[in-house]
């Protein structure tokens, strides 16, 4: 063989070697892409990112100011209730678009000494003069603007009474002590974050409608920018009055008179309405899922009942085997969701006015009956949610707290829509709710308007116990998505063995009726294609979409006692342990 042939052979050998290396690299890259897409759909179970860990107390809220305030109270020796109440008042300052003392809420308290759960209902109520006809045209159609904005949309606020009751009966500190952080932030001002800036811009028209509101939440007639400092001097003064005089000043004193004055000729609430308001101790609704005890809020929250009902239906399927995101599991969830919303429309309302068959709805036998109607991957368009869910807004805020004694709190509060009714009571800084919009305007329905009645809600502060010991406190905003997303988080923890942050991060789906399934874009394309072929119509939201709420949770290792906290990246959540 001459030198030229040898050279040719060497070139051929190098060429083959290079092609082999390139082919191998392409193959490896292809495998990585496939694995990446698969992991994207099921979420990274192998990643063990925990937002916070602690061997003592922990606070998770939707805003870092509130979380810090709660932790500050724990460090001063307060218990979980003290910390939750402090954080709740702070949220009314830094997240006025979502909650505040002009609204209402629900609270679950687990007391370690008694091993019992107490639930406090401080939901808003309809004024004494309220009637369905006030919110209908002559032809019986709903006057939606009247229910959503302005003075006629306002129901009697319950937050001050509810937080004061919780503190008095289950806390260890006084109002002045726990309200201190909120008063300081309102007085000294706080930096406007991205979310508050976005909400101001999206609700600019509403904020501009009322001079007292515009004077506080607009700067030179425009929304505050990120980094601007927002001072709430009037609200600080109102907080001081409450801290020094207790809830009576809000419901029968100077604040009540200011509210009545603002309502005169425009709204329904009077001092008599406010003086007659009271929070209610309710029995929690209880169920189980694969050995874990689920404890949540009963009516007038529809959430706890239907969360348990949804878990009961899905418990009959091997969720762990199916995985988080495939067409069969998404279809099963969607069909189960549609069935619980059908029941919600038929039965749910204020239990003081409507007989709600809670025990039947949460029974395993009823779930088995509903499960037999379902087939994985098959669409059923017959289940209709009704219109009861059309009136509820998605803006609430949640707080989860665990202290070093083993006490837990799950607290969810709201002003209903973004910035509630838009009405601020002049001189007080109180932004009032628009909870009349959570009623159905039709007559004689389970959620129809009646004086003193509480509107239906999806707010679902929830606790989970394992072997009788506290395991989890969790909740979220999101209107009807609360009912569908919280079970997904619980299944992520129990079936998919995720940690709390992974369970919160995982992609979410939601369905209420017909063909539609709402989902985050991390659901793999091949899964979406399979669902479309099955007849579903998909509404694909962005990754980590605020549409799906913002869960905050604290999980306790029942063996070691360690606390693990998770805060939702869909919202500006923060969790801190100490």
**Dihedral sign, Cα of residue 198, residue 204, residue 206, residue 209:** positive
Mean pLDDT, rounded, for 309-334: 90
CATH of 57-189+231-283+387-577, one of 1.10.4080.10, 3.40.50.720, 2.30.30.90, 3.60.20.40: 3.60.20.40
Helices marked H in 315-363 = 319-322, 327-347, 358-361
SS3 of residue 106 by DSSP: strand
pLDDT score for 26: 45
pLDDT score for 573: 83
> Of 477, 475, 468, whose CA–CA distance to 489 is shortest?
475
Give whole-number Cα distances, 204 to 160, 209, 221, 425, in Å: 27, 9, 9, 18
pTM of the model: 0.88
Give whole-number Cα distances, 5 to 19, 81, 441, 511, in Å: 21, 87, 92, 71
Mean pLDDT, rounded, for 466-487: 92
pLDDT tens digits, 366-408: 999 998 887 655 666 555 444 444 444 556 899 999 999 999 9
pLDDT tens digits, 165-180: 999 999 999 999 999 9
Half-sphere exposure of 340 (CA within 13 A, CB side): 33
pLDDT tens digits, 68-104: 999 999 999 999 999 999 999 999 999 999 999 999 9
Among the residue ranges 48-52, 183-187, 224-228, 369-373, the one predicted with the least confidence is 48-52
pLDDT score for 139: 62
Please give the Cα distance from 447 to 344 (Å, whole number): 10
> Of 186, 238, 203, 178, whose CA–CA distance to 399 is shortest?
178
Q: Residues of the chain with pLDDT > 90: what percent? A: 72
pLDDT score for 3: 53
Q: Residues of the chain with pLDDT > 70: what percent? A: 86
Please give the Cα distance from 74 to 84 (Å, whole number): 10
Phi and psi at 539, nearest 5°, equal: -115, 105
- Residues listed for the chain: 578
At residue 33 the predicted structure's pLDDT band, cuts being 50, 70 and 90, is very low
Give whole-number Cα distances, 290 to 314, 396, 552, in Å: 10, 29, 23
Separation of CA 534 from chain center: 31
pLDDT tens digits, 194-223: 999 999 999 999 999 999 999 999 999 999
Domain coordinates of the chain in residue numbers?
57-189+231-283+387-577
Please give the Cα distance from 536 to 331 (Å, whole number): 9
Please give the Cα distance from 65 to 157 (Å, whole number): 23
Per the model's pLDDT, the better-predicted residue between 55 and 199 turns out to be 199
Are 327 and 527 spatial neighbours (Cβ–Cβ below 8 Å)?
yes
Mean pLDDT, rounded, for 237-260: 98
> Of 284, 557, 215, 248, whose CA–CA distance to 406 is shortest?
557
Please give the Cα distance from 573 to 98 (Å, whole number): 13
pLDDT score for 271: 98
At residue 549 the predicted structure's pLDDT band, cuts being 50, 70 and 90, is confident
Copy the structure tokens of residue 14.
């190098």
At residue 34 the predicted structure's pLDDT band, cuts being 50, 70 and 90, is very low
Please give the Cα distance from 150 to 146 (Å, whole number): 7
Copy the structure tokens of residue 136.
């209908």
> Of 136, 84, 86, 129, whose CA–CA distance to 108 is shortest?
84
pLDDT score for 28: 41
Please give the Cα distance from 421 to 314 (Å, whole number): 38
Secondary structure letter of residue 432 according to DSSP: P
Separation of CA 411 from chain center: 10
Average pLDDT of the residues of the chain: 88
> Where in the sequence numbering do the catalytic residues fall?
396
Are 374 and 335 spatial neighbours (Cβ–Cβ below 8 Å)?
yes
Separation of CA 72 from chain center: 24
Are 397 and 412 spatial neighbours (Cβ–Cβ below 8 Å)?
yes
Please give the Cα distance from 166 to 401 (Å, whole number): 14
226, containing H or E segment: none
């Amino acid at each position: 063989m001459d030198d030229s042939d040898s050279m040719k052979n060497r070139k051929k050998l190098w060429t083959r070697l290079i092609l082999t290396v390139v082919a191998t690299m392409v193959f490896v890259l292809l495998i990585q892409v496939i694995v990446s897409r698969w992991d994207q759909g099921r979420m990274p179970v192998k990643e063990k990112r925990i937002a916070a860990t602690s061997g003592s107390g922990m606070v998770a809220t939707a805003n870092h100011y509130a979380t810090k305030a709660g932790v500050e109270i724990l460090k001063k020796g307060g218990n979980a209730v003290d910390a939750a109440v402090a954080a709740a008042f702070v949220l009314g300052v830094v997240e006025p678009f979502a909650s505040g003392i002009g609204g209402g809420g629900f609270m679950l308290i687990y007391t370690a000494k008694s091993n019992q759960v107490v639930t406090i209902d401080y939901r808003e109520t309809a004024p004494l003069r309220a009637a369905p006809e006030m919110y209908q045209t002559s032809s019986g159609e709903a006057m939606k603007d009247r229910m959503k904005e302005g003075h006629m949309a306002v129901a009697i606020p319950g937050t001050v009474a509810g937080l004061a009751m919780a503190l008095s009966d289950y806390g260890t500190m006084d109002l002045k002590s726990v309200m201190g952080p909120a008063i300081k932030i309102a007085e000294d001002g706080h930096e406007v974050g991205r979310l508050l800036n976005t909400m101001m811009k999206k609700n600019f028209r509403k904020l501009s409608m009322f001079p007292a509101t515009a004077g506080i939440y607009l700067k030179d007639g425009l929304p505050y920018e990120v980094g601007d400092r927002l001072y709430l001097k009037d609200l600080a003064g109102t907080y001081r009055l409450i801290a020094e005089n207790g809830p009576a000043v809000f419901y029968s004193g100077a604040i009540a008179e200011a509210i009545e004055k603002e309502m005169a000729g425009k709204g329904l609430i009077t001092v008599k309405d406010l003086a007659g308001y009271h929070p209610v101790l309710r029995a929690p609704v209880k169920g189980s899922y694969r050995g874990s005890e689920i404890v949540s809020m009963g009516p007038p929250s529809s959430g706890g009942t239907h969360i348990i009902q949804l878990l009961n239906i899905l418990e009959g399927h091997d969720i762990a085997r199916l995985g988080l995101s495939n067409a069969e599991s998404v279809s099963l969830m969607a069909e189960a969701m549609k069935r619980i919303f059908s029941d919600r429309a038929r039965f749910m309302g204020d239990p003081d006015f409507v007989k709600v068959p809670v025990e039947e709805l949460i029974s395993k036998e009823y779930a088995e009956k509903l499960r037999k109607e379902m087939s994985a991957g098959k669409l059923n368009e017959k289940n209709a949610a009704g219109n009861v869910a059309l009136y509820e807004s998605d803006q609430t805020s949640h707080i989860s707290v665990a202290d070093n004694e083993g006490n837990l709190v799950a607290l969810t509060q709201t002003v209903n829509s973004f910035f509630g009714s838009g009405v601020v009571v002049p001189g007080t800084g109180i932004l009032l709710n628009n909870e009349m919009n959570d009623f159905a305007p039709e007559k004689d329905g389970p959620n129809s308007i009646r004086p003193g009645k509480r509107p239906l809600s999806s707010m679902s502060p929830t606790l989970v116990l394992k072997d009788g010991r506290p395991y989890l406190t969790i909740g979220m905003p999101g209107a009807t998505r609360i009912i569908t997303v919280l079970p997904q988080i619980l299944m992520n923890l129990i079936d998919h063995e995720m940690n709390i942050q992974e369970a919160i991060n995982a992609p979410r789906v939601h369905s209420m009726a017909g063909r539609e399934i709402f989902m985050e874009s991390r659901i793999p394309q091949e899964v979406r294609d399979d669902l479309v072929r099955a007849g579903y119509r998909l509404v694909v939201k962005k990754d980590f979409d605020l549409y799906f709420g913002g869960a905050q949770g604290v999980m306790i290792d029942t063996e070691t006692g360690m606390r693990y906290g998770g805060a939702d990246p869909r919202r500006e959540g923060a969790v801190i342990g100490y």
